[in-house]
Structure 1
Amino acid sequence: MTTFTSLPPEITREILQYLPVPTLLAFGLTSKNNHSIQQHSLSSLRLGVFHSRLGGMISLMEATADRSCLHSVQMILPKSECRKKDKVIRNQNLRIANVVEKYTHTLRDLEIACWELQESAAMSLAQLKNLKRLSIRLDHPHTRFSGLDPSFWETAPGSPVWNLFTSKKGEKGKSALGRLQSLNLERAGITDYQLTKILESNPNVRELSLRKCVNLTDKIFKILAEGKVGRKLEVLHFTRCCEVEIDERVLDHIGRLLNLKELSLYGCYRLDSDLVKKLNDEQWHIEDLTLPSTPSSPNQEVQIDPEYK
């Protein structure tokens, strides 16, 4: 009779990938050998660190990834670590770094959710040399915290922390990551230059999603059109990055992304939706297109059904 311990390691790891995280961790506590197997079995992880259970639940509902094998973990900080906004952010990043560093060689698919990215978490993420999909979600507008102004979610200040994804501290010229196929950034203060360097280090990116990355300009479209990533890019989401530079000049660059199958320009209000649709019908032929739309006029009347009571 075949027992669990007699199975080949690769079969064991495949089975363990589908266990809930608490069960997987419990398995790793049964012996040193099982602990080693457990650490090599966690290849996909959705990790959120929040100050309240409600905040974690809402974040999970809004999660971008919807892959059934992605393990989901919501960590709730104790009240003693949540007295001030800066303290919450610092402890979020420390917890993320602590978890990620345990699975440096095994993670292939990672989604993290916190309020702001700092060096401690960024450095641990940069060590994930086998990572293929990375999602960093910093946009949580439904969060309620006494020391947090709602306008916080509408800003994305620039930061040198994004430089850590292209070079390791103390090792000049040595690239970080390197095998990414999908990159998703929400409310990230990344600049054109920083994103370009990340894409140069990860030439196999096929999916690029940028939301509320307001420091990006139209230059990023030109960089994509002229770079190696742009020739292979299949999915591009550039949403709510509403800087004035994003206008009709980017349309020529989009037309040079010949392998695009999915494109979203939602929230780029300086782009004319009719023109974008016409270009797609006549030239681009992108299968899944989300138009920029237009903001509602503040003076627009709202009609109400007279039968409604």
Structure 2
Amino acid sequence: MDPELEAFVPLFPPADLSDPFTARKSFAELAARMPAPDTSGMEIEDRTVAADPDVPVRIYRPHLAHGAIVWLHGGGFVMGDVDTEHPWAARLADGSGAVVISVGYRLAPEHRFPAALDDAYAVLEWTAEHAAELGVDPERIAVGGHSAGGGLAAAVALRAREEQGPPIRFQLLNQPGLDDRLETWSARNFTDTPWLNRGKLAAAWRHYLGDTPATQPNAPANSPATSPATSSATSPYAAPARATDLSGLPPAYVATAELCPNRDEDIAYALRLLQAGVSVELHQWPGTFHGSQAIMSAEVSQRQIAELGDTLRRALAG
């Protein structure tokens, strides 16, 4: 592990999602301790996107922005909101110059799949419809997120492809949760890694998907058996790694942490995107663990945060 990160590991809450409500409180307390971002160069507005039900969003609008990203927070599908994501959404807007629409999607276990996906997709549609109001080019809209939010972003891209939805310019996937099967080497062996380990990851998927058995893993994304209107764990809209066809998806940036259970599924997904003809930038950050970019005093964390902004800026330019 990177020595700058190792000293802070004891300060992270236990890797436990057995009680989602206690975990939410600890997650909010951790987010509240983050250094305040510089928001002087942007306008920030809380809005509600009309949907069923309505979806809260927080919009970060830098001056002279031309593109936008629908941004989905992490938290294992059970934690987080626009307030806990504020330090990261604001930094992404500042670093990229893009309008960031941070989504307060519904959380599990109260609202299992496909609730969060439906919320995220509704915000994508709203963003495209309100591009002129937001001051952005409707052809320069990206989706992205961290952890569970990265998995949701990948699912939004799959759904937009299948439903001929709004065009997505780019996917910004930071340590995404993509595969409920937990069969990769990293998912099987990282049982005591900081913040996220196999046990916590398995609990997150249980909260999100319920107890539905994971059958028919090779069903296409748009088949009746895998409709996003169902609660089946078989759907690639729930676990994008289950999609058999990744062709025609937007270009992607995939970042992984060395000591993260999601690492190998993320690398495999990036390779499959490449093999399907999708342009991909893959960055494996050595010595890091899932969410360690929250330790912003570390040089590697500063590089990670800066790269997200720089990558999005390049993707939405030109």
Say yes or no: TM over 0.5: no
TM-score (norm 1): 0.35
- Higher alpha-carbon Rg: 1
For normalisation by structure 2, the TM-score amounts to: 0.35
